[in-house]
Structure 1
């Protein structure tokens, strides 16, 4: 099991936890941004982070791990590898999250949903809906980073390797904008 300090060090060393002036997908501004793609490019870090999750769910009889594309694909694969089970992923098709590529969930199958970063939980909720429509059993949700600081509640066993309170501000109230020293950067996968 990783301590908060060990997990934070992995995200800093990999360049995933960034400091600066960022415009988030929501339009809000922040002085920190978590880009998990940076940490997932390193197999040794990915293995350590996934081991933390796999250990938390080792006794839960998980049968399949599902993650939303893009961020959840690598996480799902590595957690499933460590649990010795199958990994699949959902992806967007015409604006909706779906299972494609012949992937399927069976009624009663115990499912762990994983994601790289959760802020509002939107993508995870979409995957949970797919699990429920298939008649599968949602056994838990696990994320590498919970940016909501525990505010998002999926109403099931839930684990995060790292829980953070990343402050954000309305653009009109952003202290970084008011200082005018750092240009605003729009990172992330939803440009």
Structure 2
């Protein structure tokens, strides 16, 4: 699956939005990838995650465990793990830090891949990778469906993606006038009360 086909999947799902969005990172952008519009379609999710699994296996070799950050990346992490024949786990926040919980454990010698949905600044990815590094096993790197940083996000590990897009993102006090003129919406889940 090439980059245009990946973006076409997002467009067909109505998941490539334009407007004024506040991203999970706190940055503002005229582009938002509403990945849940993709994930509600199992066939579309299967196609994308099969392609991600193939690309990950080509880049990293055999993968035993896939770990994803909750909540947004649980579905693509699980589906990618299914195509790899790997275990699927996720980290979730406990006292503000990502932790493996629910009986999840990485065993010594297991080859681990972190799977994300969309990477912007790489903050969630870095936090997830730090949590993985606290366990035995071999951290191979990371994979995501969309890297909206255009390859600029430094997550502290090798990152592969199905699509690499240079989507602009701005601090709130540095908005271009055309973006500032549009009311902002925050469609992501980070910071929601639980």
Please give the TM-score of this superposition, normalised by the length of structure 1: 0.90
Residues 117 and 144 of structure 1 are in contact (CA less than 8 Å); yes or no, is this contact kept in structure 2? yes
Structure 1 runs not aligned, ≥5 long: none
Q: Quote the residue 1:78 is aligned against.
A: 79
Residues 25 and 120 of structure 2 are in contact (CA less than 8 Å); yes or no, is this contact kept in structure 1? no
CA distance in 2, matches of 1:159, 1:131: 18
Residues 126 and 156 of structure 2 are in contact (CA less than 8 Å); yes or no, is this contact kept in structure 1? no
Q: Quote the residue 1:36 is aligned against.
A: 35
Write out the 4+ residue segments of structure 1 that deviate beyond 6 Å after TM superposition.
Answer: none
CA distance in 2, matches of 1:25, 1:57: 25
CA distance in 2, matches of 1:152, 1:120: 5
Q: Quote the residue 1:186 is aligned against.
A: 186
CA distance in 2, matches of 1:189, 1:97: 15
Q: Quote the residue 1:103 is aligned against.
A: 104
SS of aligned partner of 1:53: helix
Decide which moves more: 88-97 or 21-30.
21-30
CA distance in 1, matches of 2:23, 2:53: 30
CA distance in 2, matches of 1:129, 1:171: 28
CA distance in 2, matches of 1:121, 1:83: 24
CA RMSD across the alignment = 1.7
Q: Quote the residue 1:176 is aligned against.
A: 178
CA distance in 1, matches of 2:81, 2:25: 31
CA distance in 1, matches of 2:72, 2:26: 20
1:8 aligns with 2:10: no
Q: Quote the residue 1:118 is aligned against.
A: 119
1:177 Cα deviation after fit:
4.6
1:29 Cα deviation after fit:
2.3
CA distance in 1, matches of 2:35, 2:141: 21
CA distance in 2, matches of 1:99, 1:6: 34
Structure 2 runs not aligned, ≥5 long: none
Listed one character per residue, the Cα deviations across residues 144-173 of structure 1 (whole Å, up to 9, x for unaligned) are 111111012345442101111111233344
1:62 Cα deviation after fit:
0.6
Decide which moves more: 77-86 or 155-164.
155-164
In 2 relative to 1, CA 26–55 (structure 1 residues): closer, same or farther, beyond 3 Å? closer
CA distance in 1, matches of 2:141, 2:185: 34
1:142 Cα deviation after fit:
0.3
CA distance in 1, matches of 2:150, 2:130: 23
State the number of aligned residues. Answer: 188
